[in-house]
Amino acid sequence: MYLITRISQTMKRLYVNILAFTALLCSCSPAEGLLPQEPQAEQPVALELSMSTAELTKALVKDTKLPDGSSVGITIKDDYGVYTGELFTNVKYTANQESGNQVWSSESPILLSSEMGTLFAFYPFSEAFDQISSIPLRATSVTQVDCMYGVPVTVNKDKRNATIVMKHALAAVKISYVRGTYTGAGKVTKVSFGGDCIGTAAYLDATDGSIFNITGKGGTVAPAMTAKTLTFSIQESEIIVIPSGATTGKVVITIDGTDYTLEFGDIILRQGEITQFHLTVNSGELSLSDITVSEWTYGETQNTAIKVSDKVTLTGDLEDIAVYNSVSDGVVTITAVPKTPARCKEVEPVTLTGTATLTQSSDIETGIRTITLSDIKSAVTVNFTGTYTYDLVAKWEVTAGTATQMLYRYFYDSDIAKITRMREGDTDIQPTLTKTFSTAGVYTYKYSFTDHVIPYDLFDNCPALIDVKVSNEVTEIKGYAFSKTSITHFELPETVQIFGSGVLYDCTKLKSVDIPDSLTEIYDSMFRGCESLQTIRIPDGVTRFGDFAFDGCSSLASIIIPAGVTYIGNYCFSDCSNLRHIVSFPLITPSLGGNYRYNFLGVAPYGVLAVPVEAKTNSNYSYWVASNLNLGAYGWTLVYMD
């Protein structure tokens, strides 16, 4: 909600109500000193609009108030459609700075009499909008305007200090996208939204905010954008739309010249709400990880109170939290969403003041907390304590009665000090070496560590561990932290700079890995024994492949060696029994550990080694395929790429 600030204006118009007087009694005469009285004039006053800080909003206009230089159209009416006998329709008021304050003024300000009138407002101002009840709206790829209308307020000269609260007339979608297993260049050139759930044109009745005569249903809105590169960090596009009331829609993202589409059948877009789509771009397809709806009402300070219903108030640290609420059969459901999404980030548990039944749960994938209030007996306050980012989130799949190692295979008292927080779901618990589960299922545990470093041997030899997510606050992962576990996919944020030896050693179910561009080395035994590994992208900045790095990766069929690699360690690709294709970009052949004999021991026969044609004169690749040495022992062929 945007609030129009106070204006101070001198009067430029004077309206005089002349009092009617009857003639003097015929028996009175001037000689008796009885003279006609002067008529009395009512003194009009200028309309003043004052700022209220009770509620503030954010929207696609990125501030807590309209920008300086903005203009709104103000209309005032009485019950007959006029005010003091005149039409005050779409009077232009403009925001400017005066003595450090935003002041709204008009060349022809509205002057108030004792008569009551109702104020209406619309943003942005246009001279063409002469009917406050039928303002044309457009929401196309070119026309992206955050239109707002004012909550009606009554005024007169005794109530001239009015507050106009602006509400959003349109809806918006925020499309968040991130690279998953997609291996292409990832050039994003267009993000669009369409379907029957939106229109491209309509009319707004700014007296009550209703939209009518919606046209262009089923169209697509694709605002112009600067091309972006798909990364493992979340990127966002925001699109303003006209909600049509229908429920089907689609998101289309153009990546590397190809349109990728996700269609939905149960979307409900509403005025004044942002519907957010979280998309992950995988190889050849998009996958939807979540849809959330958040109002354009955010907490600006830790003490901001947001009214949810007559009996429910939200308070506390809401600075990084957006909220969406619904009420059904006396049950209030509040969805709290981190405004700045991050890996392993979530809304902290809330507490309740007052009498009601509180239930809550958190989705660690999105950080969204769902809060339910039922059996409300009195006015209640939901107290927020902000958001929290964990260093690591781990999922365990166990059978009933099993005792599972929860921290370290080799457990020392000194290691306990490295754990600053540990949670089982939403409950803080003390670090323990083992945990006995009474019920089978998948359990989520969350950890924070000293200096954001994941320690040595953290989950070594814990086969019940099926999934881990590493926070973007982590800078280093020590050796063998996840070795001999059952994780199937491993993804690292760009913040990780150091990666210890054997971190994923003998993870026999691991199928794919996303290595961040921040790493410059494939460390010793990094993927040793990962017999199911099929997909891996080696960053261009890598310069060294360590000893035994891919030893035993029997499902790996191909590998790309970046141009900057200078060393390939001993037994690096040994026992890669399905490895049939190597593309090596260094123009100077990387040196091989182990005297050229054991780096490719046990690869598939009759494979192909492809190298740049420029490497013919400055390399020693031919020695790799020499008879009885390395690849030559398996009948590999050397080819040159143009």
The per-residue DSSP string of 446-473 comes to: EEEEGGGEEPTTSSTT-TTEEEEEE-TT
* One domain, residues 262 and 378: no
Count of structural domains within the chain: 4
Q: What pLDDT digit, counting tens, does each position of 230-255 carry? A: 887 778 888 999 999 998 988 889 98
Q: Is the dihedral of CA 31, 34, 39, 40 positive or negative?
A: positive
Q: What pLDDT score does 502 carry?
A: 94
Q: What pLDDT score does 45 carry?
A: 64
* One domain, residues 286 and 375: no
Q: Is residue 430 part of a domain?
A: no
Cα separation, 632 vs 163, whole angstroms: 83
């099926």: which residue's tokens? 466
The one-letter amino acid at 153: V
Confidence of residue 473 (pLDDT cuts 50, 70, 90): very high
Tokens of 284: 């050849």
* One domain, residues 151 and 177: no
What pTM was computed for the model?
0.53
Residues 86-92, mean pLDDT to the nearest whole number: 84
């994923």: which residue's tokens? 504
Q: What pLDDT digit, counting tens, does each position of 549-586 carry? A: 999 999 999 999 999 999 999 999 999 999 999 999 99
Q: Is residue 401 part of a domain?
A: no
Q: What pLDDT score does 286 carry?
A: 43
Q: What pLDDT digit, counting tens, does each position of 293-348 carry? A: 333 432 222 222 334 455 788 888 888 887 777 777 778 888 888 877 788 999 99
Cα separation, 509 vs 507, whole angstroms: 6
Cα separation, 133 vs 210, whole angstroms: 9
* One domain, residues 214 and 151: no
Q: What pLDDT digit, counting tens, does each position of 578-632 carry? A: 999 999 999 999 999 876 678 999 999 999 999 999 998 877 898 888 877 789 8
Provide the CATH number for the domain around residue 476.
3.80.10.10
Read off the DSSP letter of residue 613: G
Lowest mean pLDDT among 52-61, 179-188, 231-240, 592-601: 52-61
* One domain, residues 248 and 312: no
Q: Are 136 and 87 in contact (CB under 8 A)?
A: no
Q: What pLDDT digit, counting tens, does each position of 367-397 carry? A: 889 999 998 888 888 999 999 999 999 999 9
Asked if pLDDT for residue 518 goes beyond 60, the answer is yes
Q: Is residue 214 part of a domain?
A: yes
Cα separation, 102 vs 204, whole angstroms: 28
Cα separation, 312 vs 67, whole angstroms: 32
* One domain, residues 604 and 494: yes
Provide the CATH number for the domain around residue 10.
2.60.40.2620
Q: Are 632 and 609 in contact (CB under 8 A)?
A: no
* One domain, residues 484 and 601: yes
Q: What pLDDT score does 98 carry?
A: 79
* One domain, residues 14 and 153: yes
Give me the domain span that covers residue 350. 298-388
Give the rounded percent of residues in the chain with a pLDDT score beyond 70: 82
Q: What pLDDT score does 395 carry?
A: 92
* One domain, residues 335 and 242: no
Cα separation, 57 vs 168, whole angstroms: 10
Confidence of residue 291 (pLDDT cuts 50, 70, 90): very low
